[in-house]
Structure 1
Amino acid sequence: MTGSPPTSGQAFVAALGDAAAERLWYDWPSWARPEQLPPEGGWRTWLILGGRGSGKTRAGAEWVRARAADPALDGPIALVGETMEQARAVMVEGESGLLAIHPDDEVPHFDRARNAIRWPNGNVALLMSGAEPERFRGPQFAAAWCDEIGKWPKADAAWDMLQFGLRLGRNPQQVATTTPRPTRLIKRLVADPLTAMTRMRSADNAAMLAPGFLDEIVGRYQGTRLGRQELDGELIEDRPDALWKRGELEALRLGDRPALGRVVVAIDPPVTGHKRSDGCGIIVAATCEAGAVVLCDRTLKPAPPLAWAKAAISTYGAFDADAVVAEVNQGGDLVKEMLRQVDPNVPVIAVNATRGKWLRAEPVAALYAQHKVRHMAGLSELEDEMCAFGPDGLSDGHSPDRVDALVWALTELLLGKSVPRVRRG
């Protein structure tokens, strides 16, 4: 039997009986969709771009299960999630995670304290976080499963460090499962000749989704940019209504740092500082002969008040900046006080916005169109956020912390008092 179970799945399973139905459930190759099975050929990376609920997580977990079942596996398997929390919740303990897809006599043991999984045959998998690239120094792997690489906060660095460690055995391979986003890393993998790419739509997995899910969600988002990305698994290069385009930003990138004039560190502090709150955008920019250059992105997340204040002051010192520009809409006195608590001698320019994010960003986008702004290398996360920033004031549904800080920095450097409704204090 190939492909998904029949649409009359309940009757089919009932006719099998409990024991046969259970055997079928765990016999993944017999009923997986063709695109959920490993492609043929000499690939190093299997990139699965899938919509929500398309079955990409199950495909990744089953690939790991098959590799772990090999007694001749030459080393541990890396399980890399967006964060350690996400790796545990989705890749290990989720409905389609590793603990759920094994029959009882093959279920691996999950050691939460060590973030490790051990199979009955002795093979091991280690959980890793895409937010902590430095932790990839040292460990070696024979295989890797990387989940939601489009959301990794330090994607390029984490991926590159993983590659140095993926070196055990005759054929070290990796699977990357993700909802597609036009990030630098995903574009690299798509262009890599050693990547085998699979696309999955949410509708392809209709038999496994809750009744009414597709009718409701498809009806609402079908044909939209968000729907094409989140449901159809399409990699959409540019947001049509975005103020910035990737090709334009790449053309503005500099190899060597120019002579600098005035340097500012702009910050967009969050309202709260718990794990799920917004980050604190921290952007360094300076005037130069061409206009201005964006030097560095030191955005912090999560960002408790004292942590972002210390990060801002540290960045100020590292770049020998002239001032810190801080948005004070959310608790203005507190923002200034936190910065002065760390260093009372640092000049703070407090800015208060009375216009929406999009309207504030438009004059800054015009500076880019006039080639008055340049970027140094290493700003991929900022650039991803810029290209996803829409009229709703969000970037892919999230607060654009980096864009907010960028706008304040360039407004201060190049637009100054010519921009209405921005008060300095």
Structure 2
Amino acid sequence: MGGRGAGKTRAGAEWVRQLAADGVTPIALVGETITEAISVMVEGPSGIMAVTHPWDRPLLRDHMLYWDNGVEAQILGANDPERFRGPQFAAAWCDEIGKWPHAEAAWDMLQFGLRLGAQPRQLATTTPRPTKLIKRLLAEPTTVVTRVTTELNRRHLATSFLTSVVARYRNSVLGRQELDGELIEDLPGALWTRDMFRPAAGGEQGRIVVAVDPPATSHASSDGCGIVVAARTDGGAVVLADLTLRPAAPLDWATRAVRAFHDFGADCIVAEANQGGDMVRTVIASVDADVPVRLVHATRGKWVRAEPVAALYAQGRVTHAPGLTALEDEMCAFGVDGRADGRSPDRLDAAVWAITELMLREAPRVRGL
């Protein structure tokens, strides 16, 4: 486990290169998706191709790697655990297991296939997140853990990354996780905890909204524009996508929100108007005047607005589609000061507006006849 840029991918690639040189075959290469596995684990700047001498590089064909000495590796995506049925392996490299969408299912299915050779083995490289799988693996006596920080690899990292990103997040909760490779558990008293995020079960969807939390400014250091898509379901609601944009010029976030409206077949765009008033509606109309927009105004603090939405999560009435890691991290880091690890919780704000619109907005009341 290690921080961003600590050399985890390089370590995994070197491990596979040595396995191939020793004739260990077949090997499983598992990323979040097949596309990501190829772009990072195989063809990335620290991937298998980069760490292998040109005359020893394997041939990439479809989702397979072939070495001249007969070693083969199959590329798999953890987003589809059923693909693990059938193949069998002597070794496996699993990258970024902390953000696998179906982590436990994919990991468990892989174990059934690790049954070849004298000593089936596997390596997992990841930035730590307190997921059920990572906590389970850390608790197993057969797991050997190596930790590495971003700082240890600083001579191979861009100066701009060290002076901006590292300096900004050093000693913060997010920095301890993303830079120091520390496993950060849920915050005491937090509205959201990891076990509250339930995967979407499918089924029919009702009303769909695109919620937008526009920033006050659009400078590089400004807050982002939270853009979240959610739908009503029979049992509650499902968050379908997080399309948050940073930095977010007005025309850019409006274009992304309108595109989401059409892509998901939404019923309306719900936009907070505290930061821009009618300007928010005008910017959206400049992209597509036919898109219905409902402006909402925040009259209470972020924490108070979020409490009833968090209660719906605790009741199991809100589920998440795959790929919402950044939103979930922000929810778990959200504090009573209305910030998430020192930053404005743009994603969370948009999600709160979306769920509020779908499940908590009061219906019109008849005052008299």
TM-score by length of 2: 0.67
Q: Are the counterparts in 1 of residues 205 and 231 from structure 2 also a CA contact under 8 Å?
A: no
Q: Distance in 2 between matches of 1:160 and 1:392?
A: 36
Query: What residue in structure 2 maps to residue 64 of structure 1?
Result: 16
Q: Distance in 2 between matches of 1:216 and 1:162?
A: 39
* Other structure's SS at 1:199 match: coil
Q: Are the counterparts in 2 of residues 394 and 400 from structure 1 also a CA contact under 8 Å?
A: no
Shift of 1:118: 0.9
Structure 1 pair 142/351, CA: closer, same or farther in 2 (3 Å)?
farther
For structure 2, the residue ranges without an aligned partner over 5 or more in a row are 199-203, 213-225, 244-258, 272-283, 365-369
For structure 1, the residue ranges without an aligned partner over 5 or more in a row are 1-48, 254-262, 272-276, 287-293, 313-324, 337-349, 419-425
* Other structure's SS at 1:235 match: coil
Q: Distance in 2 between matches of 1:353 and 1:148?
A: 38
Aligned mate of 1:416, from 357, 362, 367: 362
* Other structure's SS at 1:88 match: helix
Q: Distance in 2 between matches of 1:139 and 1:395?
A: 46
Q: Distance in 2 between matches of 1:189 and 1:213?
A: 31
Query: What residue in structure 2 maps to residue 198 of structure 1?
Result: 146
Structure 1 pair 285/227, CA: closer, same or farther in 2 (3 Å)?
farther
- CA RMSD after TM alignment: 4.3
* Other structure's SS at 1:79 match: strand
Query: What residue in structure 2 maps to residue 353 of structure 1?
Result: 296
Q: Distance in 2 between matches of 1:134 and 1:298?
A: 24
CA displacement 1:216-260 (0-9 Å, x = unmatched):
54432221112111211111112579532347x49xx9xxxxxxx
Structure 1 pair 149/335, CA: closer, same or farther in 2 (3 Å)?
farther
Question: For residue 308 of structure 1, what is the amino acid of its counterpart?
Answer: F
Q: Are the counterparts in 2 of residues 133 and 154 from structure 1 also a CA contact under 8 Å?
A: yes
Q: Percent identity at matched positions?
A: 44
Question: For residue 54 of structure 1, what is the amino acid of its counterpart?
Answer: A
Aligned mate of 1:387, from 329, 332, 340: 332
Aligned mate of 2:315, from 374, 389, 398: 374
Structure 1 pair 278/191, CA: closer, same or farther in 2 (3 Å)?
farther
> Aligned pair count?
311
Query: What residue in structure 2 maps to residue 342 of structure 1?
Result: none
* Other structure's SS at 2:146 match: strand
Query: What residue in structure 1 maps to residue 169 of structure 2?
Result: 221
Q: Distance in 1 between matches of 2:28 and 2:136?
A: 21
- Report matched runs for 1:113-128 at 5 Å: 114-128=62-76
Shift of 1:80: 1.7
Query: What residue in structure 1 maps to residue 39 of structure 2?
Result: 89
Q: Distance in 2 between matches of 1:230 and 1:156?
A: 22
1:365 aligns with 2:307: yes
1:105 aligns with 2:55: yes
CA displacement 1:298-349 (0-9 Å, x = unmatched):
725899666633xx8xxxxxxxxxxxx864446798667xxxxxxxxxxxxx
* Other structure's SS at 1:161 match: helix
* Other structure's SS at 1:99 match: helix
Query: What residue in structure 2 maps to residue 281 of structure 1?
Result: 230
Structure 1 pair 379/218, CA: closer, same or farther in 2 (3 Å)?
closer
Q: Are the counterparts in 1 of residues 309 and 352 from structure 2 also a CA contact under 8 Å?
A: no
Q: Distance in 2 between matches of 1:307 and 1:278?
A: 14
Q: Distance in 1 between matches of 2:189 and 2:289?
A: 36
Shift of 1:147: 1.4
Structure whose alpha-carbon radius of gyration is higher: 1
Structure 1 pair 157/362, CA: closer, same or farther in 2 (3 Å)?
farther
CA displacement 1:158-183 (0-9 Å, x = unmatched):
33333333333343222111112222
